[in-house]
Chain A
Amino acid sequence: MATMVTSTRPTTKQGTGPGTPQPNGNGSKRRDAFREPDSAGNRYRIGMWVALASIAMMFTSLSSAYIVRSGTANDWIPLAMPRILLASTALILLSSVTLEFARRSLRRSLQSEYAKYLLRTAVLGAGFLVSQVIAWRQLAAQGIYVSSHPHSSFFYLLTGAHAVHLLGGLLALTFLWFRSRRKASEPVAAARRQGAADAVTIYWHFMDGLWIYLFLLLFLWR
């Protein structure tokens, strides 16, 4: 029986030839963006999101430990919330707002506004840390330490880990503020400055959200 032709598909497909390669390996969403002066800025933003994924995983592991430990324990003594933590919360929320102002001022090239709001954010951030330290000291004055009971262990650990991360953010803000007094008129330098400001802002907002999350976990979960 003769073979019937069932397909007209060529055995060798049409060659596409070299074609014109697109920037960033055709893989970028913004095809026009690659290796333009702002690529360093993109790098900071991408790097920050990647770093936040890892920080989020660490706090996920600690909070899963918290949930397991609080769910299985028969030795859980809930901690009374130190009132000053409400002040901490207000301070850090406010600092996110001022930092957003700073970032947007930079977008509109308002250098002095940018520096001013950076400084305000740093002051508010420092205020948050001071307020946290006061909370720890209040607890210690009541005789509640890291090893007192599981809730206090987790309280000191989670707030401490958050404070260490926020301290890093504070250093970054200070660095940005020192840098802001230098001129950045070249497009490359400006894009880099914007990228750095964006990255620090993303980080700071994340720390803000993380604090709210920890606060709810520590005092509402159980």
Chain B
Amino acid sequence: MESHEGVHRHPAPTGFIRKYIFSLDHKVIGIQYIILALVAVLVGMAMSLLMRMNLSWPGTSWPILETFFPTGAPGGQMTPEFYLSLVTMHGTIMVFFVLTTAPQGGFGNYFLPIQIGAEDMAFPVLNMMSFWVTLLGFIVILLAIFVEGNQGIGEWFAGLGPSFAGGSGTVGPIGGWTGYAPLSALGKIAGPGQGGGMNLWVISIAIFCVGSLLGALNFITTLLNMRTKGMSLMRMPLTCWAWFTTAVLALLSFPVLLGGGVLLLLDRIANTSFFIPGGLYVSGLLSGTNPNFPLHTGGSPILWQHLFWFFGHPEVYIAILPGMGATSHILATFARKPVFGYRAMVFAIFAIGLLGFFVWGHHMFMSGMSPYSAIAFSVLTLSIGVPSAVKTFNWLGTLWGGRIRFTVAMLFALGFVSLFVAGGITGLILGQSSLDLPMHDTYLVTAHFHLVMGVASIFGMFAALYFWFPKMFGRFMSESLGRIHFWITFIGVYAIFVPMHIMGIVGMPRRFSSFTEYEYLRTLDPLVMLVTVAAILTIGAQLLFYFNVIWSIFKGKKVESDNPWEATTLEWTTATPPPHDNFAGVLPTVYHGPYEFAVPGAPRDYVMQTDMETEVPSGNGHDGHKH
């Protein structure tokens, strides 16, 4: 491509720092995001382990807790407030720094430019900033735990202003990942976990919003402007469609959270009353009667819920859509068949994204909303079942009659489909306001969202990593370790979350630190123990996964060809690992749709997108031009 020469905007860096730390290369930035997620998920996982331990063995002493949180866990025993701060931080870290970073910032960053045949992202400097801003957000959220939870660190932060004073010195911030007002808006007066650490929690989320927005801007511009010759929209891999839709969702939903976060922070530090109603009586004090609790009037706590969930619902699709894209991609590759209904898949992704903006109210059925609004939100929510079913049936259609290769990546993609269905099905229950009311504060909700947006998304990432690892590092991950990892994890997550459905239906409330006081829940004790044991085993299997990643980078089986999975898309046409500008100066030209497997009359059972010689009859897959 003649005009390409000399156009690449940044030459390959040579120094270590420019190459691996402050890199402009989307591939390095992608790996940085993945490392961030791998670190964050360890923190989140450790927190869930502590919660399970406390639920199954209440009152057990963990000396290490006392070391870091001398008053939050006196004698190493977890206080209920400490448990609540674990709930808060587990949710926040997992949703923002794991489920939002790795699928989009990680794999999307690495593979979107390569899959559309671009030499980098549209704005490499913004791309680099988006990672570093996100990392800053992560550091601030970790600080939030210690500012609130450790007296010594908290006192140091008190220098920033009275509202930053080190909180209760007992626990980390408390508020759930949703940070509901008015308690989250009042400051230290509202009780343990509401002091300076909560300020940092809000600030961290705001920083994260900015980082995500920079990323989304880049993804959208890159995809619209930098596709190579022949890469029409309907020739893009479904992964790119998923990343694109995710970026649009992030672009339009994160600013709303940012706006809400600014309002919340002003309530906390500037004494405004956006979310704080009048006549509030908290911690034995009436608003306006104490210098620590000045007068507030007229604010609306429900307003925060609206702003939060207007972001919060698209956020769950931000977490799962990339997994859907990776699953479609991997299922087709290892079933050796074109994706069934490519166009329908594209429209389903878009429909899910679009509908995702109109259903936030289903998180608020408990807020006392008008039953008419609740019906509207219910109907819209249930209608998401239609595009979701389109995707599920098309995945099954892709598998139908395929010559399936059961690689580990394929196993995880199949696991994704299974978990998406199993977790999504309870969405049909919770999406109806009348059924949601009794179920909302029970473990049924915990089970539902963990299966569908938590674990399913994680399976999408596992599938993606096992699949693309050979391209990223030139070595395979160990398939035998991978199989063990898959089966323990797959059975493990079902053993964790299926019993939670039963607990929920029995009426076990979520967010409680222990159930020893509740006679009617005694019968559930064996299930609680089963969940805990399953959680410990599943988390153990993840250590195997970490070992596999690190071991395979250095000692894994070397990749002999640039296309070891016999796949069709552009990332498999370039060198392994791809050079700095992805295609060594010559951008590829695309002649076919992304999933031309099993083409009649073709020399092999797959036709790569760049294959100029082979003719593909337009009925084969979905080369979207002639239908």
Chain A interface residues (CB < 8 Å from chain B)? 12-19, 21-27, 34-37, 39-40, 42-43, 46-47, 50-51, 53-55, 57-62, 64-65, 68-69, 72-76, 146-147, 150, 153, 157, 161, 188
Contacts of B227 in A (CB 8 A): 24-25, 27
Instruction: Determine whether the beta carbon of A61 is less than 8 Å from that of B217.
Output: no
Contact of A21 among B4, B273, B590 (CB under 8 A): B590
Having A16-B626, A24-B225, one finds 12 other A-B pairs with CB under 8 Å, namely: A12-B619, A14-B617, A18-B592, A18-B613, A24-B229, A25-B228, A46-B221, A54-B217, A61-B307, A64-B306, A64-B307, A188-B7
Instruction: Determine whether the beta carbon of A50 is less than 8 Å from that of B231.
Output: no
Contacts of B230 in A (CB 8 A): 21-22, 25-26
Question: B79: CB under 8 A from chain A?
Answer: no
C-alpha spacing A23/B9, complex, angstroms: 20
The residues in B between 579 and 627 inclusive whose CB is less than 8 angstroms from any CB of A are 589-592, 600, 612-613, 615-619, 623, 625-626
Contact of A65 among B224, B274, B616 (CB under 8 A): B274
Instruction: Determine whether the beta carbon of B229 is less than 8 Å from that of A34.
Output: yes
Listed from nearest, the 3 A-B pairs whose CB atoms lie closest are A21-B230, A25-B231, A58-B255
Contacts of A25 in B (CB 8 A): 116, 227-233, 235-236, 590
C-alpha spacing A188/B306, complex, angstroms: 47
Instruction: Determine whether the beta carbon of A16 is less than 8 Å from that of B623.
Output: yes
Instruction: Determine whether the beta carbon of A15 is less than 8 Å from that of B232.
Output: no
Of the listed residues A55, A65, A161, the one surrounded by the most CB atoms of chain B closer than 10 A to its CB is A65
Question: B446: CB under 8 A from chain A?
Answer: no
Chain B interface residues (CB < 8 Å from chain A)? 1, 3-4, 7, 9, 116, 122-123, 213, 216-218, 220-221, 224-233, 235-236, 251-256, 258-260, 262-263, 266, 270-274, 278, 297-300, 303, 306-307, 310, 589-592, 600, 612-613, 615-619, 623, 625-626
Instruction: Determine whether the beta carbon of B612 is less than 8 Å from that of A12.
Output: no
C-alpha spacing A50/B270, complex, angstroms: 32
C-alpha spacing A17/B617, complex, angstroms: 7
Instruction: Determine whether the beta carbon of B272 is less than 8 Å from that of A147.
Output: yes
Instruction: Determine whether the beta carbon of A153 is less than 8 Å from that of B3.
Output: no
Instruction: Determine whether the beta carbon of B616 is less than 8 Å from that of A150.
Output: no
* Chain A contact surface mostly: helix
Contacts of B271 in A (CB 8 A): 146-147
Instruction: Determine whether the beta carbon of B229 is less than 8 Å from that of A22.
Output: yes
- The residue in chain A whose Cβ has the minimal distance to the Cβ of B278 is A75
Instruction: Determine whether the beta carbon of A21 is less than 8 Å from that of B252.
Output: no
Instruction: Determine whether the beta carbon of B252 is less than 8 Å from that of A57.
Output: yes
- The residue in chain A whose Cβ has the minimal distance to the Cβ of B212 is A54
Contacts of B221 in A (CB 8 A): 43, 46-47, 50
C-alpha spacing A46/B233, complex, angstroms: 17
Instruction: Determine whether the beta carbon of B300 is less than 8 Å from that of A23.
Output: no
Contact of B303 among A13, A22, A54, A68 (CB under 8 A): A68
C-alpha spacing A113/B297, complex, angstroms: 54
